[in-house]
Amino acid sequence: MAKPMTKTQLVAALADQMDADKKTAGAALDSIVDIITKEVAGGGAVTLPGVGKIYCRERPARMVRNPATGEQIHKDADKVVKMTIAKALKDSVNG
């Protein structure tokens, strides 16, 4: 498996694709991340066309097991960020 692309590599690729400098591309990327973070943290969802949908899901309170001791403990309700991958992306990877 290949190493994941770093932010620096992503900014460089974005700058090349946009025909812009790295500073502009970095600012654009930071703005997109900020918008997604605010929307998902507020309970909304963001769809990135061709990539997928990012959303927040609430998990109910539940009993979990400590793997070291086997002891059952109560875990409070919490939220988790999920992403559903778009069919177009799945198809491009698989075919």
88/51 Cα distance (integer angstroms): 8
Q: Give residue-wise pLDDT tens across range 40-58.
A: 999 999 999 999 999 999 9
- Length of the chain, in residues: 95
Look up residue 76 and give its DSSP letter: -
How much is the pTM?
A: 0.79
E-state strands within the chain: 45-48, 52-59, 62-65, 72-75, 78-85
Mean pLDDT of the chain: 94
| DSSP 8-class letter at 66 | -
Q: What are the residue boundaries of the structural domains of the chain, listed by start?
A: 1-42, 43-95
Q: Which CATH architecture group holds 43-95?
A: Irregular (4.10)
d(CA 73, CA 17): 50
Q: How many CB atoms lie within 10 A of CB 41?
A: 11
Q: Is the pLDDT score of 95 beyond 90? A: no
pLDDT digits (tens, 9 = 90+) for 74-92: 999 999 999 999 999 999 9
